[in-house]
Structure 1
Amino acid sequence: MPTPATTAGPRLLPAPRRPAAAHRVAVLAYPGMSVFETGIVTEVFGLARPEFDVDWYDLVLCAEQPGPVPVVGGASLHTPYGLAELATARTVIVPGVPDVTADPSPELITALRRAHRRGARIMSICSGAFALAGAGLLDGRRATTHWRYAELLARRYPRVEVDADVLYLDDGDLLTSAGSAAGLDLCVHVIRRDHGAAIANAVARRLVIPPHRDGGQAQFVEAPVPADPDDDRIAGSIDWALAHLAEPLSVAQLAGRAHMSSRTYLRHFARATGTSPIRWLIDQRIRASLALLEETDVSVEQVARAVGFDTPVTYRHHFGRVMLTSPSAYRRAFRTGAGQRA
């Protein structure tokens, strides 16, 4: 039986005896964390599931300092388990860290590395990927995190191959998820990996979530503010294009609005926006179509025409490239003003 770590201060209750045969899952608790992600893990792995007649999971909450862990909202979690318990678990889950600019503590780095060397499966939810990267576990590996932090993760840890488009990534012994709710997708995926699709689907139904969600993070990213380049001529052509997205637009037309040759315009546009005019136009048309899908009943064919695509086929192709899902699937997921049955 693992011996719980002890600290000075109030006497801690002894750690309860854990079933020897169960798959132990250790989730890390941080001071100042939101309990949503811990709740996800508890709901999926912590509740007993005797109806499945399989060896289920044995969940323990671990902290760098055992005892009370203050969390958002003035509450606190209490655990007798420290990093020694985390380092010996079969699955380790690191929820989002409160500060993505801070390095993980040396003690946490040691525990994560020890668990990984033992062959544990290491998972992160949202910004928890920063702790894994800080421990060096993601060097040379693919990983994801919340889209708002993806660029920072790639910049801070250049040896990590960051994919900001997916809801989660399974890289064998290292699994990472995007935003907090994507942690649910990852946890259900892990059950599917461990116990098969039937049990994973049953758990998903009880959580009232789909067993697998279409698309990736792109469908949740806030629409970017149009580029505001220093070059007034490029800025003027961008403003004009945004007001005429439904019309056929060419590089020559945009260059004419900027009083440049097409070649000069391409060079200045790329310098100002980091992309080409055609790619930018496609992305803006896709973004413009989202409100029509969310708020109206017009057909996909009508949406395509309204935002300037020649054919619905072209629209669907580019929508899938940008959003990693189809227009119809996006509409089902984000339709406003209509109730949905559980």
Structure 2
Amino acid sequence: MSVHGSSLLSPTRPFCPHQRRDEPARPPSPPAGRARTPFRSVVAYARPGVSSFGLSAVSNIFADRSSLGLPPIDFSVCADRTGALRTDLGLLMRVEHDAEAMAGADLVIVLPTDSRPLVPSARAVHAITGAYGRGALVTAYCSGTVLLAATGLLDGHRAATNRLLAGELAREHPSITVDTGALYVDQGRVVTGAGVTAGIDMCLYLLRREHGTAVANVVAREGMVAPRRDSGESHYVPATAETDVVPRAAADDARLGDTLAWARDRLRQPLTVKDLAERALMSPRTFARRFRELTGTTPHAWLSAQRLDRAEELLETTGLSVDEVAQQVGFRTGGVLRAHFARRHGLSPRAYRHAFDR
């Protein structure tokens, strides 16, 4: 099994709503105490029964794309010892690095596993805490969060994990505040994610936080996944008991997805909810209802988030002035753009550009 040759098995829904209102905005600059040096070496720690999907997704997100002009990234997988490791699908993969590989990592990812009990080896705990002590970012998601909790690095912090494991995590580690409503939780140099698919969102968020929106967007486009699903997005779609409406709902969803792609290409225009509803062949009321059911936010908030994402990319990759960027993304003036930036990042567009001026 080649982790570099595998592909993303299932895309997330292509909707990108705005950040949850009660989630504190984080600037693009790194947490205090960490140098402004984006990670380049990524090591994923795998236990027996490692999630094949999770391994495939992570290896693709952090694959080296320097040939495309992106920053070079060195990705590898380690286990407690080298040799054969069986995945959750019963496949055998050869692991060429043991836990000591985490010593030189800039970013350590504890992968989910279906093996029980969720207790890491003493060697892994030593390696993970050692990497953190040397300044590495340490991340985990799904059952990997429970493994990471055993290291003590989550004590006193918020953390996300699979909802089915939230109770176990809270009981075994009462000092950890388990957030069951977040896709991922950023606590500085420790970041955790919810279920297996939320690991994709968490990893893209880390790329965005450390390397910028432009880099994360390229990776997302290659993997055909949503470039941005913020931590507070409602990621559980309400089920319906009326089976006769499923075909109609599916058709509505397809038109809605096409409409959002259409809108992303026209952010410079003064789009309204009526414009979007007409494009989706829905009444404004039906459109707004279906939009919230599928994205967890309003059309207006979604448009603002898309414009901010595009503004971030332009600030990172062009020399356009703040006023010019504002015009390009559909904000009326540079002042409007500055206000949105202050709400999302807590800093100005100029300060954001400076943070990614490398």
Tell me the TM-score normalised to structure 1 length.
0.59
C-alpha distance in structure 1 between counterparts of 2:202 and 2:155, whole Å:
21
C-alpha distance in structure 2 between counterparts of 1:215 and 1:172, whole Å:
14
RMSD across aligned positions (CA): 3.4
C-alpha distance in structure 1 between counterparts of 2:171 and 2:42, whole Å:
31
- Deviation of 1:47 after TM superposition, in Å, equals 3.4
Match of 2:146 in 1: 130
C-alpha distance in structure 2 between counterparts of 1:214 and 1:172, whole Å:
16
Match of 1:151 in 2: 167
On the 8 A contact 1:35/1:72 being kept in 2, the answer is yes
CA 182–77 in structure 1, closer or farther in 2 if over 3 Å, else same: same
Q: Which residue among 292, 296, 299 is the counterpart of 1:325?
A: 296
Are residues 1:210 and 2:181 paired?
no
CA 162–81 in structure 1, closer or farther in 2 if over 3 Å, else same: same
C-alpha distance in structure 2 between counterparts of 1:295 and 1:328, whole Å:
21
Match of 2:258 in 1: none
- Give the % identical residues: 33
Residue 98 of structure 1 aligns to a residue in which SS? Answer: coil
**Alignment map for 1:241-252 (pairs within 5 Å):** none
Deviates more, 1:94-103 or 1:139-148: 94-103
Give unmatched runs, 5+ long, in structure 1.
1-20, 224-286, 305-311, 330-342
Give a deviation string over 1:87-138, Cα, whole Å, max 9, x none. 3311100111324643222222111111111111001121100011111110
Residue 77 of structure 1 aligns to a residue in which SS? Answer: strand
C-alpha distance in structure 1 between counterparts of 2:223 and 2:156, whole Å:
34
C-alpha distance in structure 2 between counterparts of 1:32 and 1:53, whole Å:
32
**Alignment map for 1:262-281 (pairs within 5 Å):** none
On the 8 A contact 2:80/2:121 being kept in 1, the answer is no
- Deviation of 1:184 after TM superposition, in Å, equals 1.0
Match of 1:182 in 2: 198
Are residues 1:71 and 2:42 paired?
no
C-alpha distance in structure 1 between counterparts of 2:209 and 2:116, whole Å:
29
Q: Report the residue type matching 1:196 in the other structure.
A: G
CA 217–293 in structure 1, closer or farther in 2 if over 3 Å, else same: farther
Give unmatched runs, 5+ long, in structure 2.
1-37, 253-281, 301-358
The structure with the largest alpha-carbon Rg is: 1
- Deviation of 1:62 after TM superposition, in Å, equals 0.3
Residue 137 of structure 1 aligns to a residue in which SS? Answer: coil
On the 8 A contact 2:161/2:193 being kept in 1, the answer is yes
Q: Report the residue type matching 1:41 in the other structure.
A: V
Q: Which residue among 67, 70, 84 is the counterpart of 2:100?
A: 84
Are residues 1:193 and 2:209 paired?
yes
Tell me the TM-score normalised to structure 2 length.
0.57
Paired residue total? 232
